[in-house]
């Protein structure tokens, strides 16, 4: 039996296998509203046979968008647009769907990647960004405004509002984005957080606001639906956020009922020096899993079915999350199931798709 294709439960949510489609920004929204692109993009991924689909980083307020084309969930209009997309996807796929709620902080107001990804200054049509401290991400950026107490309450409440909207949409789970150099990660790292109040300085203080946001989202979302967190386990910069601190953060989250940790790295500083290689982030997930007791998702250069099977089969992580690999091969779970002798859920319209010799790939076929 394949461990990769064995079921797993995250709180009250049961997944048919351990393959997760990671959040992937599409930069294709209009004023935060999902478009026909999202229906096409999510629709074909929802037919992939994966166990869980996580929607891209979804901004909780307009100023929290990475780019002007980011998806959002802060208003009735953004909620209605996403509802239309989800209704179409769910008509043909039973795949559980989660959403990653996010705020970009000082990394907001940028051009989309295919236009260079550089920051858009306010005088050029961008907006003033916010952060824990008035520290730029890159030299050419505008200086962000340090969030005061009113700003912290506003951001927390925007996360809560988005969580409630997600529940109304029938979203099955929430992932709070505290990775990749975005706002909650900015609070965690001493490189970006130089506050002198209760939200800065010690590790306990730097974790305070991210934990407050998590607690608020958890309280606003039904208890039987899981809430997890995405983390960057290291900044890859000396003196920054690191694995030891991430373990402490994960342990604090476990005590608050966190359902899972999605373990990535980097994104906080342009000075990062990442040591790339197949499965290069898996050891971080393995240690966090071991020392926190939380279910973990491993991500990053996981490309082969046998590699994914070894990761979950050996207990290095509970799930693998695919991003670029499943964009390149949207039927990756089909091919993995065929290679590992397992079965996946698929649409009856595609039951005749497997090549001759591959029998009973789809359940119910």
CA distances from 236 to 64, 177, 240, 300, 357 (A): 24, 18, 7, 15, 46
Count of CA atoms in the C-beta half-sphere (13 A) of 150: 1
92 part of the active site: no
Q: Which of 27, 92, 137, 182 is catalytic?
A: 182
**Helix orientation angle between 76-92 and 36-45, rounded to the nearest 10 degrees:** 40
Contact indicator for 166, 173 with CB cutoff of 8 Å = no
CA distances from 287 to 141, 176, 233, 297 (A): 35, 21, 10, 12
The candidate with the shortest Cα–Cα distance to 144, out of 135, 157, 153, is 135
Q: E strands of 214-269, at which residues?
A: 227-232, 261-264
Instruction: Give catalytic residue positions.
Output: 182
């Amino acid at each position: 039996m394949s461990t990769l294709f064995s079921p797993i439960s995250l709180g009250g949510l049961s997944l048919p296998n351990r393959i997760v489609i990671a959040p992937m920004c599409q930069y294709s929204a209009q004023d935060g509203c999902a478009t026909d692109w999202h229906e096409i993009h999510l629709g074909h991924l929802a037919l992939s046979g994966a166990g869980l689909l996580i929607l891209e980083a979804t901004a909780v307020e307009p100023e929290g968008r990475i780019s002007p084309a980011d998806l959002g969930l802060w208003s009735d209009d953004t909620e209605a647009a996403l509802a239309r997309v989800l209704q179409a996807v769910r008509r043909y796929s039973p795949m559980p769907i989660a959403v990653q709620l996010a705020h970009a902080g000082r990394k907001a107001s940028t051009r989309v990647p295919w236009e260079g990804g550089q920051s858009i200054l306010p005088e050029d049509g961008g907006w003033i960004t916010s952060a824990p401290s008035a520290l730029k991400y890159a030299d050419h950026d505008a200086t962000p405004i340090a969030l005061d107490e009113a700003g912290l309450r506003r951001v927390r409440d925007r996360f809560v509002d988005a969580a409630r909207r997600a529940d109304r949409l029938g979203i099955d789970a929430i992932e709070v984005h505290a990775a990749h150099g975005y706002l909650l990660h900015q609070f965690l790292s001493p490189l970006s957080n130089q506050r002198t109040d209760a939200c800065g300085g010690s590790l306990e203080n730097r974790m305070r606001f991210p934990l407050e946001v998590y607690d608020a989202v958890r309280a606003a979302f039904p208890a039987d639906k899981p809430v997890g967190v995405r983390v960057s386990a290291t900044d890859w910069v000396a003196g920054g956020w690191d694995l030891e601190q991430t373990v402490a953060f994960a342990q604090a989250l476990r005590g608050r009922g966190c359902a899972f940790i999605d373990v990535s790295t980097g994104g906080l500083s342009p000075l990062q020096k990442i040591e790339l290689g197949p499965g290069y982030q898996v050891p971080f997930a393995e240690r966090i899993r071991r020392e926190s007791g939380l279910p973990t998702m491993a991500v990053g250069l996981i490309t082969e079915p046998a590699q994914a099977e070894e990761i979950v089969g050996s207990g290095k992580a509970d799930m693998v999350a695919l991003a670029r690999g499943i964009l390149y091969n949207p039927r990756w779970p089909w091919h993995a199931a065929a290679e590992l002798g397992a079965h996946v859920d698929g649409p009856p319209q595609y039951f005749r798709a497997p090549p001759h010799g591959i029998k009973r790939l789809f359940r119910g076929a």
